[in-house]
A and B are shown apart, each in its own frame.
Chain A
Amino acid sequence: MLELKNVTKVFNPGTVNEKLALDNFSLTLENGDFVTVIGGNGAGKSTMMNAIAGVWPVDAGQILIDGIDVTKLPEHKRAKFLGRVFQDPMTGTAATMGIEENLALAKRRGHTRFLRPGITKKEREEYKELLKILGLGLEERLTSKVGLLSGGQRQALTLLMATLQKPKLLLLDEHTAALDPKTAAKVLETTEYIVNKDHLTTLMITHNMKDAITHGNRLIMLMDGKIILDIRGEEKKKLTVEDLLHKFEEASGEEFANDKAILG
């Protein structure tokens, strides 16, 4: 489904801030995989996501989605393959537009936009039903501006928008990190529900080791732009946080220094 082949990305090349964010990075996802991604700050998690999404061009390597080479495609052209939810709840939605308008924008992802109506009556009914899945009462507030919603509500809405047109790949970039624990759990629950319902191939970055273990069928850990751990199948099912910390120390030769990841 997704193939990253020897992808390299260097930020600020030739300066003192030069940073090798992805180092000859390769990763292959099978259809229906739900992969959780963990790693410390600066490990390359978000860089990997942005490389897939096409936020900027990579320096070397190849990116294929469902066999299609998207390496050279700009961000807006890759969008038709991808559903994305960002860490910052403000990023995924248009604050000055209504809930239904945001959904309608997402509904047209991958289609040529022309002078047809931006939203139709039939769609409104459809969105009303869809919003009920979230259980946040948003179905009664279709025309409310998204700027009036809380962070959790916005993330849930973004999740719905990302999956409205079934994406080939769902990218979740720490999408619960900015939320309080209760809201985060709720958004994660919704995520699990939607991913299972639509059998979506998913990449989810998280800071929370427990979440990384409970969700998905495969777990990868990144460090210095490389995959240092790759656990899947039966092994993943039996995994505990202690195992993971132990494996991390073995793989990296150092102690895991991120309290948030352990305690969170």
Chain B
Amino acid sequence: MSQLVEQIRHVCALGALQSVLAIERAVPVLHAGPGCGQKLWGALGLDNGCQGSGYVGGHSVPSTNITEKEVIFGGDKKLRETIENALKVIDADLFVVLTGCTSDIVGDDVGEVVREFQDAGKPVVYAETGGFKGTNIYGHELVLEAIIDQYLKPSEEIEPGLVNIWSVVPFQDAFWTGNLKELEKLVSEIGLKPNVIFGPGRGLQALNKVPKAQFNLLVSPWVGVKNVQSLEEKFGTPYLHYPVLPIGPTETGKFLRTVGEYAGLDSKRIEEVINRHENEYFYYIERSADVLLETRLLPRRFITVADSFYTLGVSKFLINDMGLLPETQFITDDVSPEHQEKIEEEFKNFIDGISSEVVFTNDGGLAQETIRNIKFRGRPLILGSAWERVLAEDINGYQLSISMPLSDRLVLNRSYVGYEGALRLVEDIYSLVLQDFQ
């Protein structure tokens, strides 16, 4: 990500403060400028599905608010004082110190300061997340690395059937709570014991169980590969990497069979689960098929401008299950080059030999310029972010925000994962088509 960017769709590494907040009773302590926190949670939280501050987010996040003094004389003292008092003032179980650009350039010895607290038995870890180092998705991985390295302890025993689920990036994906819950539900239905650290009601209890798992399940095109590899190195836990966010019957069935086979589960039980879900799913799809098929308004072609979870997951669903055809898909989460080829392969692998063009770019302006030059037959469906609303108006498309920023939607527990999630997505897409002319 070295080129200029118009219309941002992710923020910088320090944005991982939101990943900390996604762990119940964990709190980030920023060693950063006064405005970093506000800018980042605004983009990832408030203006992204109206995800607010929750227990200890927003202006509650402790921060050294670095000024000229710390830039010139160093900020170690200020950081030490802030951590010390944060431990007294804030009621939390885990304190994750995150550095910003200023501290990383000036070269404060944050590790040394944090180790003083660790040596005193305080639950403090740190990650160097200076914004210039990468995206908040990269930062999310750094936070998990910090927790793995500095907080988690090896377990004497392995709990059979216990599976840690790692998937979407909290807050970056406005639907993260719903999506993780749905993955958890699916995995438990086939007979495993899911363990998710992010979201309500989990917290350190879930985190502490991580080293005990039978395996790590990573449901992600690329984000988190580094973390499951680290967990394997540190605790010897094997991992299954499933690269597609499963949306709809085709992909979800494949997902459940893959997980079941990997875990050595009875295939009969898995087929029963799949069958039950498909029956229910098709009840609704059959009932709405009249409208899906017999109106003159429905889009036939779609474009995604979204992070890799959704470009891929949604494309699989719309092509393999819903009979739509792809135009170009734009992947905006700054996928590191070593993962791009594998992701691109997935876009050549739809039913009936259908494939889709893919462009990796986090420059939304460039993506939109490319879309404006496509000649459409009929109104296209654009699954993107709030930045695409103006574009859709200009090119007469149908637009639904699914990827950061979702400043035009309020998201609570909605999920687009699995069978249920696919039904929600169909509801959302076709409701906007129907609302468009009424």
Q: A and B: partners?
A: no
**Residues of A in contact with B (beta carbons under 8 Å apart):** none
What is the interface of chain B, defined by CB distance below 8 A to chain A?
none
